[in-house]
């Protein structure tokens, strides 16, 4: 373990990416204050982090939409940097309940920015998404690729939040921001003590795959095999969550070591390699030596045919690169599902 560095406030700390990032930050020598309101996570996730690290964590139950409660967190803890994960993320639900998404994702975010300004806390790292690129004209996408108009309120909250950060960093002398645009985070910690905890029927591919393998779902539906791609299914950039967590550490290093070249910077966080839905299924079956029942069904509205990252900027500027082997990622995802369901 390296020498003590700054303290980082992690909002949504009990979530899928929040837990993995907390582990990576502590392992890199940072201190972390985790906050979460458990709206889409469980206290057991914090216990998982504690088991991995062999120590108690500083955790406060707090709804970031509640500025009074959040102010208390700012008053009680010193930190230079905030990583803001706390947000809703289900695309379909955001179409049905846009206000819920705008309210939660933007109010919580503005509360954080407001208090950072008030308390003079300089650095914020925002969880953005490849969804901001939409159906891009040129692939892979670079950070300069023009954003397409959002096709869901969820996607719109990511675009708006990026713009708010750009404006705040331009206006407020003491504020520095990084937006990380995640591609498709998958997998779990190799310890199988933390991972994704979807509530109800999963929307995302890999949790549906692992739940099908565990027998919780009868059959996986592959949404469309008539896309203009090599095997007809969509192409995505599946990035291991442990690699993704390390990208956060690299970004926090850059901010806390005063290395930012601009006050607001954006990085793609992916592997740079496209993979199809069918490839992912086949690799999952092989890596875990099992068979998955699946059927081809119609396209899912809103899906883009293909998106993957040009990672040159993140590789060079952050000095970060995705390293995990996809087979290991798929084994870790299955190990986590088995841990959850008590499957031997
Ligand atoms: C989605 C969101 C993205 C969000 C991300 C994380 C869209 C258009 N994008 O990414 O904004 O940041 O989730 O929440 O919704 N698939 C199946 N069967 C399934 C599930 C998925 O075939 O049961 C396919 C999809 O059609 C897609 C691929 O698997 O081609 C990946 O889907 P998913 O895991 O939902 O991620 P995205 O849609 O890429």
- The verdict on the CB of residue 277 being under 6 Å from ligand 1 is yes
Tell me the pLDDT tens digit for each residue of 295-308. 999 999 999 999 99
Q: What average pLDDT does the chain have?
A: 97
- The verdict on the CB of residue 221 being under 6 Å from ligand 1 is yes
| CA 161 to mean position of chain CA atoms | 15
CA dist 129 and 127 (Å) reads: 7
SS3 of residue 144 by DSSP: coil
Q: Residue 4: pLDDT band by 50, 70, 90 thresholds? A: confident
Say if residue 140 is preceded by a cis peptide, omega within 30 of 0.
Answer: yes
Q: What is the mean pLDDT of residues 7-12?
A: 98
Rg (the chain; Cα; Å):
19
* Ligand 1 mean position, distance from CA 220 (Å): 13
* Ligand 1 mean position, distance from CA 19 (Å): 21
Instruction: Please spell the DSSP secondary structure of 71-111, one letter per residue.
Output: HHHHHH---SEEEE------HHHHHH-HHHHHHHHHHHHHH
Q: What does the pLDDT read at residue 70?
A: 98
From residue 154, how far is each of 85, 87, 89 by CA, in Å?
14, 9, 6
CA dist 113 and 60 (Å) reads: 19
The answer to whether residues 81 and 56 touch, using CB atoms and an 8 Å cutoff, is no
Return the ligand 1 atom nearest residue 155 CA: 11
CA dist 273 and 310 (Å) reads: 9
- Annotated active-site residue 154? The verdict is yes
Its pTM stands at 0.97
- The verdict on the CB of residue 148 being under 6 Å from ligand 1 is no
The answer to whether residues 238 and 183 touch, using CB atoms and an 8 Å cutoff, is yes
Tell me the pLDDT tens digit for each residue of 49-69. 999 999 999 999 999 999 999
Closest listed residue to residue 151, CA positions, set 304, 297, 309: 304
Question: Is it the case that residue 226 has pLDDT exceeding 90?
Answer: yes
Q: What does the pLDDT read at residue 38?
A: 98
- The verdict on the CB of residue 203 being under 6 Å from ligand 1 is yes
CA dist 147 and 197 (Å) reads: 30
203, two tokens? 């929307």
Tell me the pLDDT tens digit for each residue of 74-106. 999 999 999 999 999 999 999 999 999 999 999
Q: What does the pLDDT read at residue 3?
A: 60
The phi, psi pair for 36, rounded to 5°, reads -165, 150
Pick from 40, 91, 105, 227 the residue to mutate for probing ligand 1's pocket: most ligand atoms within 8 Å of its CB: 91
Question: Is it the case that residue 1 has pLDDT exceeding 60?
Answer: no
CA dist 344 and 339 (Å) reads: 8
CA dist 2 and 132 (Å) reads: 36
The answer to whether residues 275 and 284 touch, using CB atoms and an 8 Å cutoff, is no
Q: What is the mean pLDDT of residues 233-244?
A: 98
292, two tokens? 């998955």
Return the ligand 1 atom nearest residue 222 CA: 22
Q: Which of 16, 30, 109, 154 is catalytic?
A: 154
- The verdict on the CB of residue 131 being under 6 Å from ligand 1 is yes
Beta-carbon neighbour count of residue 310 at 10 Å?
19
The answer to whether residues 154 and 94 touch, using CB atoms and an 8 Å cutoff, is yes
SS3 of residue 23 by DSSP: helix
6, two tokens? 């700054």
């Amino acid at each position: 373990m390296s020498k003590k560095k700054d303290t980082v406030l992690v909002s949504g700390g009990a979530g899928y990416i929040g837990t993995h990032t907390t582990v990576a930050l502590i392992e890199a020598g940072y201190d972390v204050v985790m906050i979460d309101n458990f709206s889409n996570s469980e206290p057991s996730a914090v216990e998982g982090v504690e088991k991995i690290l062999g120590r108690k964590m500083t955790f406060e139950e707090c709804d970031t939409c509640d500025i009074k409660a959040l102010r208390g967190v700012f008053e009680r803890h010193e930190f230079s940097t905030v990583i803001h994960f706390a947000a809703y993320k289900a695309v379909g639900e955001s179409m049905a309940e846009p206000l819920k998404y705008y309210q939660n994702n933007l109010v919580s975010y503005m509360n954080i920015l407001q208090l950072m300004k008030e308390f003079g806390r300089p650095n914020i790292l925002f969880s953005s998404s490849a969804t901001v690129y939409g159906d891009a004209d040129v692939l892979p996408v670079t950070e300069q690729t023009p954003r397409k108009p959002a096709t869901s309120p969820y996607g719109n909250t990511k675009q708006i939040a990026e713009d708010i950060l750009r404006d705040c960093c331009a206006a407020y002398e003491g504020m520095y921001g990084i937006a990380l645009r995640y591609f498709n985070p998958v997998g779990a910690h190799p310890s199988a003590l933390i991972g994704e905890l979807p509530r109800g029927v999963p929307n995302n591919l890999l949790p549906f795959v692992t739940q099908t393998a565990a027998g919780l779902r009868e059959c996986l539906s592959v949404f469309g095999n008539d896309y203009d791609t090599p095997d007809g299914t969509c192409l995505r950039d599946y990035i291991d969550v442990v690699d993704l967590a390390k990208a956060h550490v690299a970004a926090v290093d850059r901010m806390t070591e005063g290395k930012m070249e601009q006050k607001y910077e954006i990085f793609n966080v992916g592997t740079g390699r496209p993979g199809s839905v069918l490839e992912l299924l086949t690799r999952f079956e092989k890596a875990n030596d099992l068979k998955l029942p699946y059927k081809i069904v119609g396209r899912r509205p809103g899906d883009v045919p293909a998106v993957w990252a040009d990672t040159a900027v993140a590789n060079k500027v952050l000095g970060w690169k995705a390293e995990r082997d996809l087979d290991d990622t798929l084994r870790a995802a299955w190990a986590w599902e088995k841990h959850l369901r008590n499957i031997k």
